[in-house]
């Protein structure tokens, strides 16, 4: 007789562990099945905590600290000699951060009475789940509700199959034990730009190849153009509109040919996006609907076409972002418990953790024009912000898009230091329907980088103090 649960969650990434914990908080009997781990113990956190968001941010921070000391310490009157890089210690710190967070999830599971098991899960009829461990032993459970939170995996390119040595994915790129002389990255999205930034700061010559004609086409065009200029000034060689024709390995080198050009590198990093991870998840009798992109079809509540089965996060439509997955997990858990919870998908923030950071929420100019809203924009540069100048962080700007007739904020786009933190203020303003004039009338502490958002809002109504106002169109 199999064990039975109110909720069974497959996958323990941000979406999975959030769904499991919230279900436990709501009094449900919960089990979470995770395939990764050592011995018989699962390691929680999925791609984000283990090989994605967290380790990359740890290395981004460490590499930037090294870069600042190496290149900017003298600006502050700090003179240092014999600066050296201890890459092993940098990687050890990264692993320590990851370990602390994964252990934290385990503690939260225990606190909220969430049972966990390690193994590969296959969903069978009547929401029965067969779990196979590494030794091939089988166990079975059943549940009233199953939440598929299996995440995603890196896109594989036929022209450049990964060998985990010279042709690698983002996972291996965060564990390189030495600084390569020359790296080539395929893909200029968030993953490619962040990994490129890490190794460029540590001394690698980094070339990024992108098939699209524009950098970050989903971002506001003014932001993407500024980002391209800044990244090139930082030494990232970004080649747009490049189609890879061939990739050849020779000894310890990789040769990449595109158009009339070719380049040789120590490592080729594939960062061309991610696709849902659904391998061996469903028994052949399970008629779960999958869309043309390989994602599980769901409605706005993350319900699949099968009663009692839900899917969230990277396994479904929408951006592959940890915070989106987490909120979907909470929503599903609450709706299973009988609460009426909805997500506002229009207010999902996007962040790229380069330096300067890039972040946006809501609509950009192109989208506003597409749906024919009468709008206006205002931009305030960080070069006119007192705190940014004091911090020697004067690159970038805040751009606000506003409905002209309603004075309502439609979108905010930021490229600059701490953009990932500043964008949260924009989310709150849009969600609470705060007008640009009301936003600009708020009292912000001085000096702070947040004042740049206040100034952008004030500029809409010609009330900015630290930049020349222009007459508002009637």
Summarize pLDDT for 422-461 with one digit per residue, the tens.
999 999 999 999 999 999 999 999 999 999 999 999 999 9
Q: What is the CATH code for 167-272?
A: 3.50.50.60
Contacts of 386 (CB under 8 A, 6+ apart): 446, 447, 451
Confidence category of residue 470, pLDDT binned at 50, 70, 90 = confident
Given a cut of 50, whether residue 474 has pLDDT beyond it is no
Mean pLDDT of 138-147: 96
**Residue given tokens 């930021």 in the structure block:** 414
Which of 86, 15, 110, 108 is closest to 53 using CA atoms?
15
What are the DSSP calls for 361-381, one per residue? EE--HHHHHHTT--EEEEEEE
67 a catalytic residue: no
Contacts of 429 (CB under 8 A, 6+ apart): 409, 412, 439
Per annotation, catalytic residue among 4, 181, 446, 466:
446
Question: 3-state DSSP call for residue 252?
Answer: coil
34-73 pLDDT tens trace: 999 876 789 999 999 999 999 999 999 999 999 999 999 9
Instruction: Identify the architecture of domain 356-460 in CATH.
Output: 2-Layer Sandwich (3.30)
256: region left, alpha or beta (phi > 0 left; psi from -120 to 50 alpha): beta
Given a cut of 80, whether residue 180 has pLDDT beyond it is yes
Residue 472 pLDDT: 53
DSSP type of residue 314: G
CA-based torsion, 307, 311, 316, 317: positive or negative: positive
Per the CB < 8 A criterion, the answer to whether 412 and 401 are in contact is: yes
351-407 pLDDT tens trace: 999 999 999 999 999 999 999 999 999 999 999 999 999 999 999 999 999 999 999
Residue 1 pLDDT: 38
- Model pTM? 0.96
Calpha distance 340→334 (Å, rounded): 7
Task: Answer yes or no: same fold for 3-154+275-345 and 167-272.
Answer: yes
Residue 134 pLDDT: 80
**Residue given tokens 């600084």 in the structure block:** 179
Domain locations in the chain as residue ranges:
3-154+275-345, 167-272, 356-460
Instruction: Identify the architecture of domain 3-154+275-345 in CATH.
Output: 3-Layer(bba) Sandwich (3.50)
Confidence category of residue 140, pLDDT binned at 50, 70, 90 = very high
**Residue given tokens 């109504």 in the structure block:** 461
State the chain's mean pLDDT as an integer.
96
Tokens of 77: 């009157």
């Amino acid at each position: 007789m199999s064990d039975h649960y109110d909720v069974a969650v497959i996958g323990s990434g941000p979406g999975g562990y959030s769904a499991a914990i919230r279900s436990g908080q709501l009094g449900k009997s919960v089990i979470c099945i995770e395939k990764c781990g050592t011995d018989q113990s699962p390691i929680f956190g999925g791609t984000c905590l283990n090989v994605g968001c967290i380790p990359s941010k740890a290395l981004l921070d460490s590499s930037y600290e090294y870069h600042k000391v190496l290149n900017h310490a003298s600006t502050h009157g700090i003179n240092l000699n014999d600066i050296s890089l201890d890459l092993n210690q940098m990687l050890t710190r990264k692993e320590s951060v990851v370990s602390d967070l994964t252990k934290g999830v385990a503690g939260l599971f225990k606190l909220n009475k969430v049972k966990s098991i390690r193994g590969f899960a296959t969903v069978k009829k009547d929401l029965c789940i067969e779990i196979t461990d590494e030794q091939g032993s089988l166990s079975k459970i059943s549940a009233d509700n199953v939440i598929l939170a299996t995440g995603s995996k890196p896109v594989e390119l036929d022209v450049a199959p990964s060998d985990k040595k010279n042709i690698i994915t983002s996972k291996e790129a965060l564990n390189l034990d030495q600084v390569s002389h020359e790296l080539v990255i395929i893909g200029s999205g968030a993953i490619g730009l962040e990994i490129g930034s890490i190794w460029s700061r540590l001394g690698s010559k980094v070339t990024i190849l992108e098939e699209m004609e524009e950098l970050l086409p989903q971002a506001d065009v003014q932001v993407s153009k500024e980002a391209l200029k800044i990244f090139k000034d930082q030494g990232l060689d970004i080649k747009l509109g490049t189609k890879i024709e061939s990739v050849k390995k020779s000894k310890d080198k990789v040769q990449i040919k595109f158009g009339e050009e070719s380049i040789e590198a120590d490592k080729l990093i594939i960062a061309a996006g991610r696709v849902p991870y659904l391998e061996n998840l469903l028994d052949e009798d399970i008629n779960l609907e999958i869309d043309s992109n390989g994602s599980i079809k769901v409605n706005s509540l993350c319900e699949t076409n099968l009663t009692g089965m839900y899917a969230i996060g990277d396994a479904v439509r929408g951006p592959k972002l940890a915070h989106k997955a987490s909120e979907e997990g909470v929503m599903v858990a609450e709706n299973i418990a009988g609460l009426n919870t909805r997500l506002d998908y229009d207010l999902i923030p996007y962040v790229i953790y380069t330096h300067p950071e890039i972040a946006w929420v809501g609509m950009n100019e192109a989208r506003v024009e597409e749906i024919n809203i009468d709008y206006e924009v205002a931009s305030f540069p960080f070069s006119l912000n007192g705190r940014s100048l004091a911090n020697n962080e004067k690159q970038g700007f805040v751009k606000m898009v506003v409905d002209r007739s309603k004075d309502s904020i439609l979108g905010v786009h930021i490229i600059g230091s701490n953009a990932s933190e500043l964008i949260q203020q924009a989310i709150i303003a849009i969600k609470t329907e705060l007008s640009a004039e009301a936003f600009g009338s708020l009292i912000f502490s001085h000096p702070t980088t947040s004042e740049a958002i206040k100034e952008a809002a004030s500029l809409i109504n010609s009330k900015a103090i630290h930049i020349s106002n222009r007459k508002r169109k009637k």
